[in-house]
Amino acid sequence: MASSHVHYDDPNCPHPGCVHKMGWIDFKLELHGDPEGVYKPLVRAWWDGTGFVGQCPSCKGWVRFSTLGMSTCDDGTAARLSKLPANWAEVAQFA
């Protein structure tokens, strides 16, 4: 399975009031250095449609990223889903 990268038609963070744009994202999961703990589980979650969660680099709200779009996510839901590493936005490429 290929690493996850995406273009979202609506680039805005889904949290109300946040103006952070995430239209094109290459998550660069392979650069986190943990194939078994990060890369493989997140790529699997991406391609099976579940997606994964990470905190918006701006508002710090949980965002669920999937092939279908971005959506807000509460702490309980975030706890049940696969999570991006805390520094994901420093490694990912945005356009």
The predicted-structure confidence for 4-37, as pLDDT tens digits, reads as follows 789 999 999 999 999 999 999 999 999 999 999 9
The percent of residues above 70 in pLDDT, for the chain, comes to: 98
| pTM above threshold 0.75 | yes
Q: Are 83 and 64 in contact (CB under 8 A)?
A: no
At 5 the pLDDT is 87
